[in-house]
């Protein structure tokens, strides 16, 4: 059940803190939707290799943003592509070589209300800790997602090029989740502030925040998530997006 009433408590909680208030945001399918990135990759593969795989091109031509899913191959088969289609293996390779790149990361669109809510948190005095499994790339910032992420956050209007904003990416794509999360939590704790709220679309990550920051408001942004993630969501607040972040008492139309 979605609970926007809890989301509406975040800004007042930030303002009431005596320590540095910290808000932790995941990016993919939390602040941003990856649907557009996936759909464009599908369309580009169809344009590049549709002559060889006409069954793929036929399905791709009718796909919409709303058809996208956590699993891009599942989205295709749900739309009518034969699970045994010869196109799937080369497509997944194509997807893997494009999805995790600057060019494609820069085309993601924000989820409803995300930009305004992030700015409201910042304006209320919070430090925004953007914590994502995206990776930086090589020392020249190539072959990664760092530049594309910075570009997308800037273009969409998220607080970024200013103080009290931290973007945490994996050093390399192969860094293990255990090492990465341990490193990130240590960095958050080193700030000596107070984690007020956390937001993630993966139940496992949400549960990790709940364990480490039980006094925070920990939100599961229920968009798309790994279906194999069976971690309990008990104790989490559930929202579909950030569209109703304003408290009714602050809405001049009420």
Q: Domain boundary residue among 104, 133, 156?
A: 104
Note down the domain range covering 157. Answer: 4-33+109-247
Chosen domain end from 104, 122, 145: 104
Q: What's the pLDDT band for 174 if we cut at 50, 70, 90?
A: confident
CA proximity to 147, closest of 132, 160, 136: 136
pLDDT digits (tens, 9 = 90+) for 71-108: 999 999 999 999 999 999 999 999 999 999 999 999 99
Mean pLDDT of the chain, nearest integer = 92
Residue of higher predicted confidence among 141 and 143: 143
Residue 1 has pLDDT above 70, yes or no: no
Whole-angstrom CA distances from 117 to 24, 41, 157 are 13, 29, 11
Residue 247: the pLDDT is: 78
How would residue 254 be classed by pLDDT, with cut points 50, 70 and 90? Answer: very low
User: 186: which residues sit within 8 A by CB, 6+ positions away?
Assistant: none
127-135, strands of its sheet edge to edge: 165-170, 127-135, 21-25, 194-200, 217-221, 237-239
Q: Within this chain, do residues 84 and 147 fall inside the same structural domain, yes or no?
A: no
Cβ contact 113:243 at 8 Å:
yes
Q: H or E segment at 237?
A: strand 237-239
pLDDT level of residue 252 (50, 70, 90 thresholds): very low
- Count the domains in the chain: 2
pLDDT at 85: 97
**95 shares its domain with 125:** no
Average pLDDT over residues 138-165: 87
List pLDDT tens digits, range 147-157: 899 999 999 99
Q: Quick check: is 252 in a domain? A: no
Domain-located, residue 176: yes
Same-domain pairing of 173 and 146: yes
pLDDT reading at 42 higher than 70: yes
Q: Which of 62, 89, 104 is the last residue of a domain?
A: 104
pTM over 0.75: yes
């Amino acid at each position: 059940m979605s609970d926007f009433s809890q989301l509406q408590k975040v800004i007042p909680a930030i303002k009431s803190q005596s320590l540095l208030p910290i808000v932790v945001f995941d990016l993919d399918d939390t602040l941003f939707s990856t649907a557009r990135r996936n759909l464009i990759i599908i369309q580009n593969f169809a344009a590049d290799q549709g002559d060889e795989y006409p069954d793929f091109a036929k399905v791709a031509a009718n796909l919409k943003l709303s058809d996208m899913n956590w699993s891009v191959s599942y989205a295709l088969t749900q739309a009518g592509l034969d699970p045994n289609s010869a196109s799937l293996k080369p497509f997944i390779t194509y997807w893997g070589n494009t999805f995790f790149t600057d060019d494609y990361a820069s085309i993601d669109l924000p989820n409803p209300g995300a930009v305004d809510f992030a700015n409201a948190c910042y304006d209320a005095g919070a430090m925004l800790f953007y914590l994502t499994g995206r990776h930086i790339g090589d020392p020249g910032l190539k072959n990664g997602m760092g530049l594309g992420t910075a570009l997308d956050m800037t273009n969409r209007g998220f607080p970024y090029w200013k103080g009290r904003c931290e973007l945490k990416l994996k050093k390399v794509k192969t860094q293990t989740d255990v090492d990465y999360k341990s490193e990130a939590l240590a960095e958050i704790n080193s700030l000596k502030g107070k984690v007020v709220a956390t937001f993630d679309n993966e139940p496992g990550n949400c549960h990790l925040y709940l364990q480490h920051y039980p006094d925070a408001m920990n939100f599961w942004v229920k968009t798309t998530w790994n279906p194999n993630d069976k971690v309990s969501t008990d104790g989490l607040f559930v929202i579909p997006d950030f569209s109703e972040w304003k408290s009714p008492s602050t809405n001049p139309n009420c």
